[in-house]
Amino acid sequence: MIKLGLIGFGYWGPNLVRNFSVQKDVLVTAIAEAKLERHVQISKGYPGTLIYTNSSDLINNLEVDAIVVATPVFSHYKLAKEALLAGKHVLLEKPMTSSVDESKELIDIAKKKNLVLMVDHTFLYTGAVQKMKELIDQKQLGKLQYFDSTRINLGLFQPDVNALWDLAPHDISILNYLVNNKPYSVNSTGVSHTNNGIENVAFMTVNYQDDFIAHFNCSWTSPVKVRSTLIGGDSKMLVYNDLEPSEKIRVYDTGYYHSSDEEKNKIMVDYRTGDVFIPKLSTQEALYGVALDFIESILYSKVPLANAEIGLEVVKVLEASQKSIKNKGKEIII
């Protein structure tokens, strides 16, 4: 029986507790929350749970085996470090930390202490992403060529991070999970329409050393909500539309063949369009999968899907995008 503590019972914390509570082999033992007015809600919903105001008290509780950190991103590094040093397994909300160096240090500590360090990239556990992973691993799309994501809507403006830090982590983690390829560099542009200089519209290209390319379009100021990703391979292509209630993935048996003739510069292209296939997806709640994976990784010493390396990759891309945006779109090597 793993004894679990949660730090941060704000927007996402209750969802985490709910999904951990229904797992077997887990007992949610303690919750730390700085705001006292939330303590009543905790004691009502989870009567037997210890409630702390101070996170260090929870971390120092010797009974606790594993800690979930659901606080704002700037505090992730400090809390996770403290927890790891106290010998606890750690699940961090996304993005992992505010900088690459912080993420790397946490990974090092976790390795040395042989602890599970995982990041809550929830989307990896959705039926849609699992199905895309399956299709890509089966080579149904062929060699991957591009990943083009649009995640735009009206609001909510974040006060401290731009639209890419806010909206792109989901898509970057999906990209990293699906594509067996390391990003090489990042170009990013954007604009702020408020006087705090934080970009509410931003674009990013992630370049690879072969001819794969990824692109991200993020905005807090679109009149329409779009959650759409195109993934192209040299055999098939797919569209992932997360706003569709059930038909989120459409696989197109579409492509082209090109051949050169003698003159080097002339290419001949043959197009092909075929059937479209909309696979049925698992409807299990993604966060249930996150909780289960964290628990099983601890119990069976396995590497979780949403492991710290993916968390680090996401932070690397975000940090590079910020440098690029501040350098007028210049390529930043990751």
235 binds a second copy (CB under 8 A): no
Antiparallel, parallel or unpaired: β 213-219 and 144-154: parallel
189 binds a second copy (CB under 8 A): yes
DSSP 179-199: --S-EEEEEEEEE-SSTT---
Query: Which of 325, 94, 89, 313 has the alpha carbon at shortest distance from 198?
Result: 325
Q: Which stretch binds a second copy (CB under 8 A): 20-28, 79-87, 270-278, 312-320?
A: 270-278
Q: Which one, 24 or 264, has the nearer CB to a second copy?
A: 264
One residue of 111, 182, 193, 323 binding a second copy per CB under 8 A:
193
Rounded to the nearest whole angstrom, what is the least distance from the CB of residue 204 to a second copy in the complex?
A: 9
253 binds a second copy (CB under 8 A): yes
Rounded to the nearest whole angstrom, what is the least distance from the CB of residue 141 to a second copy in the complex?
A: 11
Binding mask 148-187 for a second copy (x = CB under 8 A): x-x-x-xxxx-xx------------------------x-x
Residue 116, classed as helix, strand or coil, is coil
Q: Which one, 105 or 234, has the nearer CB to a second copy?
A: 234
DSSP code, position 157: P
260 binds a second copy (CB under 8 A): yes
Rounded to the nearest whole angstrom, what is the least distance from the CB of residue 312 to a second copy in the complex?
A: 24
Q: Residue 279 and residue 251: Cα distance in Å, rounded?
A: 8
Q: Residue 61 and residue 68: Cα distance in Å, rounded?
A: 14
Q: Which residues contact 119 (CB under 8 A, 6 or more apart)?
A: 91, 92, 93, 94, 95, 96, 173, 306, 307, 308, 310, 311, 314
Q: Residue 228 and residue 234: Cα distance in Å, rounded?
A: 20
Q: Residue 5 and residue 27: Cα distance in Å, rounded?
A: 9
For a second copy, the binding residues (CB under 8 A) are 145-146, 148, 150, 152, 154-157, 159-160, 185, 187, 189-196, 201, 203, 205, 207, 211-213, 215, 217, 219, 221-224, 230, 232, 234, 237-239, 246-247, 250, 252-254, 256, 258, 260, 264-267, 269, 271, 273-280, 328-331
